[in-house]
Structure 1
């Protein structure tokens, strides 16, 4: 354990040399920061030896807890063989075995696996595959160069992924880099743009989706969407049947369907993949985040044999790759991650935790600044508002959700907001007592900040 003075030294050095993601550095430099030195189970431990529940799974990636012995051992054993070898012109057993496991688990007819290292890259690869497919398929349609995506979608921060994203804050500085796409408003029931109420609305918002796709079908390569829930938008949970309805629209118009399961995959929604809830069979699927159980960077794009075969033959090569594509250490970690899913019956045991969370979250509705609670499996968003009756948000400068997470941190819990939406997404392996403690702290932190901002 480092001394307190050593912790201060690390903070000062950080502020002199680092630039953190999605962070306003002037705020970062002005405040005291946590230096995470180690971890154990569902806890992160800072350099002053203070433990914190990892309430966001280290950005939605940790599945079975930190320092899980099975995954640790798999990485050690792989280190005894080889840490890295290129996948360009060579192959290796962990990469082959993992691909087979993913094909076995994947929904629908997904039969081929292309590795990368981040979720954004996996999406980028899916977009490039879709464009090239239409140039090389048995009945080429090279005019299909655009994509349909939902407003408020987030698919990553590479140029292609940003291009099909719908959160303006992440896009506006880079518009000159982005290619055009077509979009329709998504199902954000709490703030319905049609001023309708679910379920009496009968998902009227799908009419716009149908109209836009129908109008542009001749030039669309694919429809891309996050199944069941728009995660980075603020945990916008779609009504039941919405994802399948969009998929069916895509199929009626002969379009490829790309499922972005980067955030929703590996048990987050209660099943291994969110597509399983509504019987979706994507043509391409991007996965990442929880693939290695939160250990090492690894992502993949899965596709069908039909798409794959359009790339066979002279002049049809898919020219894409990364230096660390299919890294053996990461593949070994991913295989161990899937092994733990089976050994510990993670998905079966998760059902009780999902129900517990749903039950406890009902009490949060008594808090005066809680406007909406959205839950999809083990993904939760709590939207904070100034006025619940009118759904009036707080002024951004009040940074209400940031104040809540700082209060939670004082009590031993790490959370991270999306605007004024608190996100709760703990490791799937969190115990019953730990989950109760997480919810207790979150409730108390919201209650404390509500007293301050409403007084």
Structure 2
């Protein structure tokens, strides 16, 4: 069957597709949809043949770049040999087993056990469901609540959305009865004249007071991204994660490090929890860069201590998804890790990522750029009406969307988020492309400023 991929045919067919996180009515009315037709390396091409720098790597995903033959061949070869089999009951297959071994060899500490799903949302839901069962098996069935943070993003399933910052579920329901949100760790916005060290102390007091008020015997876990992603690329004060982990351990609260975005090279290491932030959590969740987006796959990586409790004699693991450890997805995961190791991509990011970070942070000399935050290939840019007061733009101005549109006209895809932009490009960005990205963004911001 030959697909009709002409612009009119695709747009007509797209009337039946529900896109994520958008104004569906406006999208259909103004037809302002971008058709991405093909991709190669750090670039994508739209239906009109325009070349665009993929400044969001699909969606934090395509770490090794588009069109990598090794990954495409891995899928093809696996489908020819074993197209599908589940990892239910006593069944396994080579791809899932070998990938699990590879992942645990890269994970810190005693995180030696992997449960596969197909999204970061499912990985985080899995983590909490496992911990509920873990605590119940220890005779503590009331330990069910989860501590999360304002500004965090943990997914879109019913529980994961409850753990996500409330702004993402406005007008929608979620499992909010299971979640308590701690203060945002965004120093630039929330510091209120304190030093960064004082702000950190204040955040830890909020954590301690929340635990005391809720009761540690009612709290199953604390979940945190090493660097917040879709909540605005917020970097907590230095030492935040170490101190939070110490407090959690003191109160028998498990620590979930949500590395759906930060793992697999984005910050220059396969996992950032220990190598960048100096912690060994009880659980790490991962997805996106694990297959570089070539196949949907996620992992919930749990400690030996947790596994020992939930796999005691007579226990059954009553959790599962049809596509857990899908052979094609697992084969891509293996090929992705091997490619990254062979090319030294995480090590390369420690250099190129810092070049990117420096280029983006140079934009702060533009009048409306209030803060540029983040690390390596994970950057957020916040726009303000006035730098001194940090007064934000009115929502009606749609400053982020306007600048994103201006950037796309000039050959760069970025992600608008209210009064901010998020950049999370492929990890194969060259210094030349980084320089071009900075130039496009600067021109786009200045053009919108002149229009205002």
Same fold (TM over 0.5): yes
How does 1:54-65 map onto structure 2 within 5 Å? 54-65=54-65
What does the per-residue CA deviation read over 1:420-453, in whole Å, with 9 as the maximum and x for residues that have no partner? Answer: 1111111011112112111211111111111111
1:416–1:422 CA contact under 8 A, matched in 2: yes
Shift of residue 222, structure 1, vs aligned partner: 1.3
Give the equivalent residue in structure 2 for 1:438: 437
**Superposed displacement of residue 314, structure 1:** 6.2
Structure 1 residue 199: deviation in Å?
Answer: 4.4
CA offsets 1:305-350 (integer angstroms, 9 cap, x no match): 2111212256632211111110000001010110111111001111
- 1:117 correspondence with 2:115: no
Deviates more, 1:341-350 or 1:269-278: 269-278
Counterpart secondary structure, 1:385: strand
Work out the CA distance in 1 between the residues paired with 2:352 and 2:137: 47
C-alpha change, 1:99 and 1:448, in structure 2 (3 Å) is: same
Q: Label 1:261 to 1:171 Cα distance change in 2 as closer, same or farther (>3 A).
A: farther
Counterpart in the other structure of 1:274: 272
Moved >6 Å (runs of 4+): none
The answer to whether structure 1 residue 326 and structure 2 residue 325 are counterparts is yes
Q: What's the counterpart of residue 307 of structure 1?
A: 306
The whole-number CA distance in structure 1 between the counterparts of 2:259 and 2:416 is 21
> In structure 1, what is the Cα distance between the partners aligned to 2:229 and 2:179?
20
What per-residue deviation string (whole Å, max 9, x for no partner) do you get for residues 179-204 of structure 1?
33223202111111644242464543
Q: Name 1:347's counterpart in structure 2.
A: 346
Cα shift at 1:299: 0.3
Identify the residue that residue 449 of structure 1 maps to in structure 2.
Answer: 448
Offset of residue 171 of structure 1: 5.0
- Counterparts of 1:13 and 1:366 in 2: how far apart (Å)? 44
Pairwise CA distance, 1:27:
2.3
Is the 8 Å Cα contact of residues 357 and 377 (structure 2) preserved in structure 1?
no
Alignment length (residue pairs): 446
**1:385-422: CA deviations, max 9, x gaps?**
11111111111111111011111111111111221111
Residue 84 of structure 1 pairs with residue 84 of structure 2? yes
Could you list the runs of 5+ residues in structure 1 that have no partner in the other structure? none
Deviation at 1:359, TM superposition (A): 2.6
User: Which position in structure 1 is the counterpart of 2:208?
Assistant: 210
Cα contact 1:62–1:294 (8 A) shared by 2 = yes
Query: Any stretches of 5+ residues in structure 2 without a counterpart?
Result: none
CA contact (8 A) 1:275 1:281 kept: yes
Mapping 1:312-391, distance limit 5 Å: 312-313=311-312, 316-391=315-390
Give 1:279 shift: 2.1
Contact 2:200 2:240 in 1 (8 A): no
Q: 1:36 to 1:201 in 2, by over 3 A?
A: closer
Q: What is the alpha-carbon distance in structure 2 between the residues aligned to residue 304 and residue 5 of structure 1?
A: 47
Structure-to-structure mapping, 1:249-260, within 5 angstroms: 249-260=247-258
Q: Which residue does 1:296 correspond to in 2?
A: 295
Match of 1:247 in 2: 245
Deviation at 1:232, TM superposition (A): 1.3
- Secondary structure of the structure 2 residue equivalent to 1:183: strand
TM-score (normalised: structure 1): 0.94
SS at match of 1:381: strand
Query: Aligned partners of 2:162 and 2:360: how far apart in 1?
Result: 35
TM-score (norm 2): 0.94
